[in-house]
Structure 1
C-alpha cells in the first residue's frame, strides 16, 4: 500500500469540510495523520471552553488522553500556552520540558516523551485551542514539519468552527461578498495601472506585493487604493 502524503491527508480534510462531515471522526483522523506525517509519536487537541477552561477534544492514544486531561485540569502545558499566547510553544529534552511547565512537564517526561511542540488553533484574531505533538526522542522539528503541523492545527480549527450547513440565503450572501471583493480588486488594478503606468498583470502583482508588505488582505489593500484615488 502506498504511504499517505501530507498533501493527501490535508486534501482529505478539505474534502470532508465541504461535505456533511462527522466532526469527532474527522478530528481523530486529523490528529492521527498529523502524528504520522510531521512526524511525532503522539498528538492531541485541547480546546477552550465557554468558561475559559480547557477540554480534551481528540488524542491518538489512551496514554496521551490521560496526559492531556491532566493538562486541562491544571490549565497548564504546551497546548494551553499556545492557546493563551497565540504562538507555538516547544521544549526539547526532559530538563527543558520540566523547567518550562513544572509538574505538567514532569508528567510529560514520565509518560516517556522528550520533546513537545504545540501549535495554536487560530480563529479570527484569537486562539480557540492548541495542537500538541509529542516525541519520544529529543529532536527539534524541521521547518517543513513546523509549517505542516500548523496547517493541521488550522484545519482542525476549520473543522470545529465551520457550520454544519448554510441556508440558501446565507450561501448567496457569501457568494455576493466574494464577488464584491473581486470587483474592488479589478477597480484597484485599473487605478494602479493608470497611476503607475503599468499593464493590468503588473498592477495585480503590485496589489499582491502591497498586501504582503502590509499584512493586510488583498481586498483591504484594493479598497485603500480605490478610496485614496476617490479622495484626490
Structure 2
C-alpha cells in the first residue's frame, strides 16, 4: 500500500487549520477584484501550497471553458472515458507556484498526456505516488518531473456538475500519495475556485452583452439623427422609418444603422440585400 505524504499527527479539520481553510474558500469565491481567470488561479495555487502538505501547485484550464470559446452550451468539457481527448478543447497552463513546475506543466498541456490531463478529461482525481515507478506510462513527463525535483503528485479536477473546466495539480518532492483528509481539502479548494471562475465568467458575459447593447443603441441614435436631418422629419419618425426599412430588409436595426452612419449620404431607402439576414426588429431591451 502506497505511503502517504505528510500524514498529520492531529485532526487536520479542526482549530486554526479549519479557520484557514474557510477563509481560503471564501477568498476563492469572491470575484469582486478578479479581472482575469489567472488572478483567481494564482490565489488557488497559493492557498494549496499554504494549506496542503505539498511543495508546488499549478492549475490548467480548458480554453473552451470561458464565454466566447465554448463549443457547447455548458462550460468546459463533458467528462468522458480515460482516453477521451476532445479535439475542440485545448489545455492551457493558467498558474504555477514556481518556474520549475511551470515548465513541467507546459509540457503536459502541450502533449495532452499525463495524470493532470487524465484527471481533467475524466473528471476523476489522479495520484502518482512515485514518478520513478511509472516511467513506462509517461516516460517524457516522468523525466521532466523528476529533473525538476518532484517525485509525487495529485491532480484534482475542477468540475461543475458533469463538466470539467480545469484541474489543480499538487506536486511533492518526496514520494507518497496525498492522505485522504488532504485529498478532501484539495477537492474543496478546487470546487471553490471553480465556482469563482463560473461567477467571473458570468459577470464577464453580462458585461459583454451590455457593451454590445450599448454600442447598438449608440449606432441607432446616430442613425436617427442622420435620417431625421436628411428627410426633414422628427427623430421619432426617423426611428419608425429605420425600423420599417430594417423589417423590409430582414436585417437587425443596428446593422442598418451602422450602414447609414458609415455612409450618411448613401442611397435611402437602401437597396435590397442579396440574401438578407435573420434577426429583424429592435435590439433587445430597446425603448424609444
Instruction: Tell me the TM-score normalised to structure 1 length.
Output: 0.64
Distance 2:26 2:39 in 1: 16
| 1:164 aligned partner | 203
Question: Alignment partner for residue 36 of structure 1, among 43, 50, 54?
Answer: 50
Q: Which stretch shows the higher mean deviation, 132-141 or 21-30?
A: 21-30
| 2:221 aligned partner | none
Report the alpha carbon displacement of residue 84 of structure 1 after superposing the two structures with TM. Answer: 1.4
| 2:63 aligned partner | 49
| 1:112 aligned partner | 149
| 2:27 aligned partner | 12
Aligned alpha-carbon RMSD (Å) = 2.2
Question: Alignment partner for residue 22 of structure 1, among 35, 48, 58?
Answer: 35
Report the alpha carbon displacement of residue 21 of structure 1 after superposing the two structures with TM. Answer: 2.7
Q: Is the 8 A contact 1:113 1:136 kept in 2?
A: yes
Deviations 1:126-152 (A, max 9, x none): 212211000001122121100011111
Report the alpha carbon displacement of residue 155 of structure 1 after superposing the two structures with TM. Answer: 1.8
| 2:166 aligned partner | 129
- Structure 1 unaligned regions, length at least 5: 168-232
| 2:109 aligned partner | 72
Question: Alignment partner for residue 146 of structure 1, among 183, 192, 203?
Answer: 183
Deviations 1:91-126 (A, max 9, x none): 111323424422112211121101110011112312
Report the count of equivalent residues: 164
Q: Is the 8 A contact 1:97 1:109 kept in 2?
A: no
Instruction: Tell me the TM-score normalised to structure 2 length.
Output: 0.52
User: Which is bigger in relative contact order (C-alpha 8 A, separation at least 6)?
Assistant: 2
Q: Is the 8 A contact 1:118 1:130 kept in 2?
A: yes
Q: In structure 1, the residue corresponding to 2:53 is in which secondary structure? A: coil
Q: Is the 8 A contact 2:40 2:197 kept in 1?
A: no
Decide which structure has greater helix share: 1
Larger Rg: 2
Distance 2:101 2:127 in 1: 17
Q: Is the 8 A contact 1:97 1:106 kept in 2?
A: no
- Distance change in 2, residues 1:94/1:124 (3 Å): closer
Distance 1:6 1:96 in 2: 33
Report the alpha carbon displacement of residue 166 of structure 1 after superposing the two structures with TM. Answer: 8.8
